[in-house]
Amino acid sequence: MVYTYKTKGTCSRNIVVDIDDNSHVIKSVTFQGGCNGNTQGVARLAQGRRAEEIIGALRGIDCNGRGTSCPDQLAHALEEALAL
């Protein structure tokens, strides 16, 4: 399943995730906007892992007092995708 999430409170605008419907393994993550090196690193670390593992690791990370971050927004995106 490919899911596009509109981010809130971050420099990135959207996150596109491709998750295996049965195993919940993340096939790919693409951030649109944001800090290119950081978002590429987060995306690469998430690839090949189960969505639930990544949600647990990234949920609640804050960027400079914004109350969220690109990694936190990825956790939100994965939660929404799994709820479909």
Amino acid 6: pLDDT: 98
Domain 2-83 has CATH 3.30.390: yes
> Would you list the domain boundaries of the chain?
2-83
Q: Residue 44 belongs to what H/E stretch?
A: helix 36-46
- Split at pLDDT 50, 70, 90, the class of 8 is very high
36-49 pLDDT tens trace: 999 999 999 999 99
pTM of the model: 0.97
Kindly list the distances between the CA atom of residue 60 and the CA atoms of 10, 20, 27, in Å, as whole numbers in the listed order: 13, 24, 23
The span from the CA of 46 to the CA of 48, in Å, is 6
